[in-house]
Amino acid sequence: MSALFEPLRLRSLTVPNRLWMAPMCQYSAAPEGPTEGTPGDWHFQHLAARAAGGTGLILTEATAVAPEGRITPYDLGLWNDTQTAAFRRITDAIKAQNSVPGIQIAHAGRKASSERTWVDRGRALRPEEPFGWRPVGPSPLPFDDASTTPEELSTARIAELVGQFAETARRALDAGFQVAEIHGAHGYLINQFLSPYSNRRTDAYGGSYENRTRLPLEIVDAVRAVWPEDLPVFFRISATDWLSEDDGDDREGWTADDTVRFARDLAEHGVDLLDTSTGGNAPNARIAVGPGYQVPFAERVKKEAGLAVGAVGLITEARQAEKIVADGQADAVLLGRELLRSPSFAQHAARELGAAVHVPQQYHRAV
């Protein structure tokens, strides 16, 4: 039997296999007007095609809890009824292909108001530019020299943000999603609060580990309060900022030790799986990239914190993914670019590993 194609049960939900689709921004929503932030035909075919290809769980791209929480003006959001209704079409299609629809809910914080990655390399949009706005963050520290200095969030605004995450989770449930993933990685708002590199606050939301994890845990509690007890909540984390003394910055960053400690806290607050990535919070970080380079971080959380984990990062081959799960390094693998290249990667992998996977009846000639 293939470990990669064994079902995984999380609370009452059974995911048919361990090969999942990671969230990947498409920058294809309307930037303004009545369909602002709303998924359209591109998002439908993009997500449904991977479900038809046998992928066990489909996570949407980072979906903002508020307009100013988008990375770019062209990102998805879930703060109104138009968006909720449009997502139902997508979740229905995913479920019809025996896959599980999940949503990643997010706020970009100081990395908001950017161009699409294929336009000027995703440069920051200034507030005075068309579709631009001033971002917010835990502290008035820009991401880099080319970025806008964010507005420091007040405690009242922080409380409002917690409510926005809960409201988006409630809408996601109404839209038919079965997994809610809170985006706490890649230098976006929650990651900014977690890391001392980006959080210089001196109030209850900054300074100590307990204070820097306060907002993330408040968000987890708020989402868990509106999410059904029998359905899972995930949390995506950057397990390290990848900072060292050689990076030319004396600011301390978030570390793998912090991640293991935080994983235990997340489990106590009702998180079921840690989607374990790295980086994105410090522009000058040096990252040693290679096949499966982030898997050890997931493995450490699984072994030391006892929380289920997803592994990511240059996982491109079926036997590579199989070994990660079979060796107990992770409970599932999430593919990104490889699924962009090959929407039916799961079917090809199942064939290579001698496993069974869902194939649409319309494609029976290809089995």
The enclosing H or E element of 234 equals strand 233-238
Is residue 353 one of the residues assigned to a domain? yes
d(C-alpha 9, C-alpha 122), whole Å: 38
Is residue 44 one of the residues assigned to a domain? yes
Type of residue at 52: A
- pTM: predicted TM-score of the whole model, two decimal places: 0.97
Closest CA relative to residue 98, chosen from 367, 340, 325, 361: 361
pLDDT at 246 over 70: no
Q: What is the mean pLDDT of residues 268-287?
A: 95
pLDDT of residue 296: 97
Is residue 63 one of the residues assigned to a domain? yes
Is residue 1 one of the residues assigned to a domain? no
pLDDT band at 245 (very low <50, low <70, confident <90, very high): low
Distance from CA of residue 236 to its chain's centroid? 5
pLDDT of residue 78: 98
Is residue 75 one of the residues assigned to a domain? yes
pLDDT per position as a tens digit, 24-39 = 999 999 999 999 999 9
Type of residue at 173: L
Quick check: helix, strand or coil at residue 337?
A: helix
**Which CATH number belongs to the domain containing residue 273 in this structure?**
3.20.20.70
pLDDT at 316 over 70: yes
pLDDT of residue 247: 55
Active site residues: 188
Place of tokens 């806008």: 148
The enclosing H or E element of 303 equals helix 295-305
Contact yes or no for 72/28 (Cβ under 8 A): no
In terms of residue numbers, what domain contains 219?
8-366
pLDDT at 345 over 70: yes
314: left (phi > 0), else alpha (psi -120 to 50), else beta?
Answer: left
Is residue 3 one of the residues assigned to a domain? no
Is residue 310 one of the residues assigned to a domain? yes
CB-count exposure of residue 127 (10 Å: 0-12, 13-18, 19+) = exposed
pLDDT per position as a tens digit, 99-117 = 999 999 999 999 999 999 9
Is residue 2 one of the residues assigned to a domain? no
pLDDT at 76 over 90: yes
pLDDT per position as a tens digit, 113-122 = 999 999 999 9
Contact yes or no for 98/90 (Cβ under 8 A): no
pLDDT band at 248 (very low <50, low <70, confident <90, very high): low
In the numeric block, which tokens belong to residue 357?
């996977």
- Listed in order, strand segments (DSSP E) in the chain are 8-10, 13-15, 19-21, 57-64, 100-106, 136-137, 151-152, 179-184, 233-238, 273-277, 308-311, 332-335
pLDDT of residue 1: 87
The count of domains in the chain is: 1
Q: Helices (DSSP H) in 147-288: which residue ranges?
A: 155-174, 189-194, 209-212, 214-226, 256-268
Closest CA relative to residue 318, chosen from 286, 344, 282, 279: 344
pLDDT band at 356 (very low <50, low <70, confident <90, very high): very high
Name the percent of the chain lying above pLDDT 70: 98
Q: How far is CA 160 from CA 133, 202, 219, 222, 312, in A?
A: 19, 20, 11, 11, 32
pLDDT of residue 364: 86
pLDDT per position as a tens digit, 166-202 = 999 999 999 999 999 999 999 999 999 999 999 999 9
Contact yes or no for 296/256 (Cβ under 8 A): no
Q: What is the DSSP string of 36-49?
A: BT---HHHHHHHHH
- The CA-based angle 41-45-48, given to 5 degrees, is 130
pLDDT at 351 over 70: yes
Average pLDDT, the chain: 96
